[in-house]
Amino acid sequence: MAENCTHDCSTCKSSCAQRKIEKVPLRDGSKVKKVIAVMSGKGGVGKSLVSSLLTAKMQKRGFNSAIIDADLIGASVPTCFGVQGESIMGDDKGIMIPVRTKSGIQILSLNFMLENETDPVALRAAMVTGYLINFWKDAVWEDVDFMFIDMPPGTGDIPLTTLQSIPVDGIIIVSTPQDLVRVIVEKSVKFARLMNVPILGIVENMSYIKCPDCGKEIPVFGKSHVEKIALEYGIPLLARIPISPEISEKIDAGKVEEIESDFLNPVADTIAASLN
């Protein structure tokens, strides 16, 4: 925040995070009812997994779902859905056509624009955020009930651009059980509150592994600290995702839509309620 801030952004030349920026509109004919950002204060916690599972979950519930892979440098959402190498450019210049999955989910990712999915994306921050805005405003999004944005880790250019420029209705924070979780959650919570975007809840990934013989839940990373922190901040802990060979195999095979994710029912219920 600038020194001596008056909170009147129209007279301010500062580029601080609280500066109000006009939201970027969708192109004519596109329709998106609700936008949910999935984020975390650090990498490696499973944001793409949670984003993909939630998108598939809401589609199964009868909602039209879409997902923007905003982790443009490390895009992985297309792999989860098994839709690599598709063309996204429409016949008219500047129009993008989201790729459709088997169940009809609409997806946009920078990976679709690469000759090979393993090619590095060597772009400056301004170009990366430019692609993100183009995915939002230049695509033909067809009657989307819930759009999920799979964010990159941290609170840098892309998360900042997303929350300032796209009308995000709520945030799901992804974490893991370790004690380090306090840093992860607190960074995300403070960032969301700075940007005045409501937090719908927290999802803990890699919570436990279930013994195949006795069914006992084993906390591989030790006792979880997430619930305590969630209570401190008044944010619901909506779900715990287990470490599962089946989930890993389905993701690697591009079959996230086939995963039975009953553990995400409370998250889906919360998201569905936000539509009313």
- pLDDT for 108 equals 94
Find the mean pLDDT for residues 158-186. 89
- pLDDT for 213 equals 83
CA distance 273 to 276: 6
Owner of token pair 């592994």: 209
pLDDT at 45 over 90: no
Work out the pLDDT band at 20, boundaries 50, 70, 90.
Answer: low
How do residues 116-168 score in pLDDT, each as one tens digit? 777 777 778 788 888 899 999 999 999 999 999 999 888 888 999 999 999 99
pLDDT at 61 over 80: yes
Tell me what percent of the residues of the chain surpass a pLDDT of 70.
Answer: 89
Give Cα separations from 227 to 48, 181, 203, 240 (angstroms): 22, 10, 10, 10
Owner of token pair 């941290």: 154
Owner of token pair 């600038």: 2
CA distance 16 to 13: 9
Find the mean pLDDT for residues 197-218. 90
- pLDDT for 18 equals 52
- pLDDT for 227 equals 87
User: pTM higher than 0.85, yes or no?
Assistant: yes
- pLDDT for 178 equals 81
- pLDDT for 220 equals 85
Q: How many CB atoms lie within 10 A of CB 29?
A: 9
Which is more confidently placed, 274 or 63? 63
How do residues 67-90 score in pLDDT, each as one tens digit? 999 988 888 899 999 997 666 776
Q: How many CB atoms lie within 10 A of CB 241?
A: 22
- Asked which of 86-90, 101-105, 196-200 is least confident by mean pLDDT, the reply is 86-90
The mean predicted confidence, pLDDT, of the chain is 87
Which residues on adjacent β-strands are paired with residue 60?
none
Q: Which of 260, 271, 272 is nearest to 53 (CA)?
A: 260
Find the mean pLDDT for residues 100-120. 85
